[in-house]
């Protein structure tokens, strides 16, 4: 079981294989129960999915909290925002949903939510 900082893509494998945040791992929402054997509960976890229109990351965060993880953050901008900002990605990034223009909902940001810039800063800090 690993401890540390994890960025988790909760989309199904073919979407992760096509385009993911560099350095992230894939645990599809449907397999979220398997995380207990892989990641220690004291770890810091950031979950993301496709975009603000996708609810998989919100659902994954709820599941992780229910399983006893308490350092779970949400990056709702997902692959669409990350890619469109030009941040590091792995894969061909060829799926049509990545070309969509998806605007951030107009609401107050919660303390457990990360922006693309905040996530990139956290990831960069882990490399040091």
- What are the tens digits of pLDDT across the range 5-37? 999 999 999 999 999 999 999 999 999 988 888
> What domain range is 14 assigned to?
5-127
CATH code, domain carrying 73: 3.40.250.10
pLDDT one-digit tens code per residue, 53-98: 999 999 999 999 999 999 999 999 999 999 999 999 999 999 999 9
What's the Cα-to-Cα distance from 128 to each of 20, 88, 98, 125, rounded to whole Å? 22, 17, 30, 6
pLDDT for 37 equals: 83
pLDDT for 45 equals: 97
CA atoms within 13 A on the CB side of 119: 29
pLDDT for 85 equals: 95
What is the C-alpha to C-alpha distance for residues 24 and 9, in angstroms, rounded to an integer? 7
Instruction: Give the total number of structural domains in the chain.
Output: 1
pLDDT for 102 equals: 83
What is the C-alpha to C-alpha distance for residues 108 and 68, in angstroms, rounded to an integer? 26
- Give the E-state strand segments of 23-128 in sequence order: 25-26, 44-48, 72-75, 89-90
């Amino acid at each position: 079981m690993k401890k540390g900082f994890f960025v988790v893509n909760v989309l199904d494998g073919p979407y992760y294989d096509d385009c993911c945040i560099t350095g992230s791992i894939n645990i599809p929402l449907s397999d979220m129960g398997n995380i207990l054997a892989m990641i220690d509960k004291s770890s810091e976890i950031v979950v993301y999915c496709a975009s603000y229109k996708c609810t998989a990351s919100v659902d994954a965060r709820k599941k992780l909290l229910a399983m006893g993880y308490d350092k779970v953050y949400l990056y709702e901008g997902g692959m669409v925002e990350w890619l469109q900002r030009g941040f590091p990605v792995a894969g061909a990034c060829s799926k049509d949903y990545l070309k969509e223009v998806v605007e951030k909902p107009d609401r107050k940001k919660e303390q457990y939510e990360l922006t693309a810039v905040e996530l990139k800063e956290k990831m960069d800090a882990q490399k040091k």
